[in-house]
């Protein structure tokens, strides 16, 4: 019995370590990369609140990948975003982290910020780039842009609909956040 218990314990431990290594465990709530969100829209909002302050202070774009994740605490599927890339005044890479390329079915899309003067809508290149990623990654569907005017917009590559999902956002430059 004691032996069975230790074998089971070892199995659980091994599974846990493997899961943590493959899919970063998502925290229950928050707004930082890896935190768990119920929807892709909410993941984009979390990114907006965490990274738009940096964008406004530094005057550069930030961009991240939105992907499916699993919350081990509640045993629920959800969404999160990757540690963002820092770009320049006009552009940012939204290349998914390399580990995600092994699991393309987890990919949902991406999100990036526009600094002051960057406009409150997607640029033509944002849309072109999205369709290229959508062509390469078969699960890629939504891109989001966070704008200096307090908007989060979502573009759906399947329906080609561009709509505002959040407006009137006020950014507080207080939170520290990581950067790739």
**Interacting residues with Zn ion (CB under 5 A):** 123, 126
What is the nearest approach in angstroms of Zn ion to the Cβ of residue 145? 5
- Residues 6+ away with beta carbon under 8 Å from 153: 120, 121, 122, 144, 145, 147, 162, 163, 164, 165
Q: Which is nearer to Zn ion, 42 or 126 (CB)?
A: 126
What is the nearest approach in angstroms of Zn ion to the Cβ of residue 2? 60
Q: Which residue is nearest to Zn ion (CB)?
A: 126
**Token pair in block for residue 154:** 């979502």
Does residue 26 contact residue 20 with C-beta atoms inside 8 Å? no
What is the nearest approach in angstroms of Zn ion to the Cβ of residue 173? 21
Q: Which residues pair with 77 in a beta bridge?
A: 70
Q: Which is nearer to Zn ion, 141 or 153 (CB)?
A: 153
- Do β-strands 85-86 and 107-113 pair in parallel, antiparallel, or remain unpaired? unpaired
Q: Which is nearer to Zn ion, 123 or 162 (CB)?
A: 123
Q: Which is nearer to Zn ion, 101 or 128 (CB)?
A: 128
């Amino acid at each position: 019995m004691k032996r069975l218990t230790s074998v089971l314990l070892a199995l659980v431990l091994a599974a846990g370590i493997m899961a943590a290594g493959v899919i970063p465990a998502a925290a229950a709530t928050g707004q930082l990369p890896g935190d768990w969100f119920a929807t892709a829209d909410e993941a984009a909002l979390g990114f907006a609140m965490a990274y738009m302050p940096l964008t406004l202070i530094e005057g550069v774009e930030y961009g991240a990948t939105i992907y499916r994740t699993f919350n081990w605490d509640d045993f629920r599927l959800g969404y999160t975003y990757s540690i963002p890339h820092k770009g320049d005044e006009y552009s940012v890479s939204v290349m998914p982290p390399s580990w995600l390329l092994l699991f393309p079915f987890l990919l949902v899309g991406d999100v990036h910020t526009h600094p002051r003067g960057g406009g409150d809508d997607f640029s033509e290149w944002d849309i072109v780039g999205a369709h290229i990623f959508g062509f390469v990654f078969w699960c890629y569907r939504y891109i989001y842009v966070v704008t200096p005017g307090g908007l989060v917009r979502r573009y759906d590559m399947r329906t080609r609909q561009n709509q505002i999902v959040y407006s009137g956002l006020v950014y507080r430059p207080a939170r520290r956040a990581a950067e790739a």
